[in-house]
């Protein structure tokens, strides 16, 4: 089981990696093909580790589940067969279902597994940025595409 100390240590590891990852992202904008990105990869690995620690702490009731996790779970139960991009209203707020590729085939041409998540929409039907940031923090593995080896 993880502790709060582990989480604090991970947060300290994230700061310099985030700076380096952002520099790499800025340097590869406009490039195509496979690009070697060790800092982005390291940052993503630490984000996934942090999320696992948080999930463990929440599973053992050390930390409460966030509103986003609670609402997402309820929406998943209510709308099991909703399609990508569809919008629904729940508790006077609009939410949009999104799918993102999670695992690709070995060739990278076929999606083997999809990540499913909900985004909250503002009054102008634009994605709430704070909600999206928290979704990416809670489920970082949804936003890292991995090849699937058979």
Query: Quick count: other Cβ atoms within 10 Å of Cβ 70?
Result: 11
Same domain, 15 and 84: no
My answer on whether 116 and 46 are in the same domain is no
- Asked if 6 and 78 sit in the same domain, the reply is no
Residue at a domain's end among 64, 81, 113: 64
pLDDT of residue 89: 96
- Does pLDDT of 14 surpass 80? no
84 and 48 assigned to the same domain: no
Name the pLDDT band for 21 (thresholds 50, 70, 90): confident
If you search the block for the tokens 């800025």, which residue do you land on?
26
**How many residues are recorded in the chain?**
150
Of 5-9, 42-46, 136-140, which has the strongest mean pLDDT? 136-140
Count: domains in the chain: 2
Q: What is the domain range of residue 73?
A: 66-150
Q: How would you classify the pairing of strands 111-121 and 93-104? A: antiparallel
Shared domain for 99 and 113, answered yes or no, is yes
| CB distance 46 to 53 below 8 Å | no
| Separation between Cα atoms, residue 57 and residue 10, nearest integer Å | 14
pTM, two decimals, is 0.70
Residues 39 and 34: their CA atoms lie apart, in Å, by 15
Beta strands 146-147 and 93-104, pairing class: parallel
């Amino acid at each position: 089981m993880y502790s709060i100390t582990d989480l604090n240590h991970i947060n300290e590891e994230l700061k310099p990696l985030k700076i380096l990852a952002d520099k790499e992202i800025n340097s590869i904008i406009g490039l195509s093909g496979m690009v070697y990105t060790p800092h982005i990869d390291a940052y993503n690995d630490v984000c996934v580790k942090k999320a696992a620690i948080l999930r463990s702490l929440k599973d053992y009731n050390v930390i409460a589940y966030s509103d986003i996790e609670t609402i997402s779970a309820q929406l998943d139960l209510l709308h099991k067969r909703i399609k990508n991009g569809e919008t629904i209203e729940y508790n006077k707020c609009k939410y949009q279902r999104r799918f993102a590729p999670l695992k690709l085939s070995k060739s990278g041409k076929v999606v083997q597994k999809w990540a499913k998540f909900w985004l909250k929409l503002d009054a102008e039907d634009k994605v709430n940025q704070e909600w999206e940031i928290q979704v990416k923090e809670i489920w970082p593995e949804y936003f890292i595409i991995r090849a699937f080896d058979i």
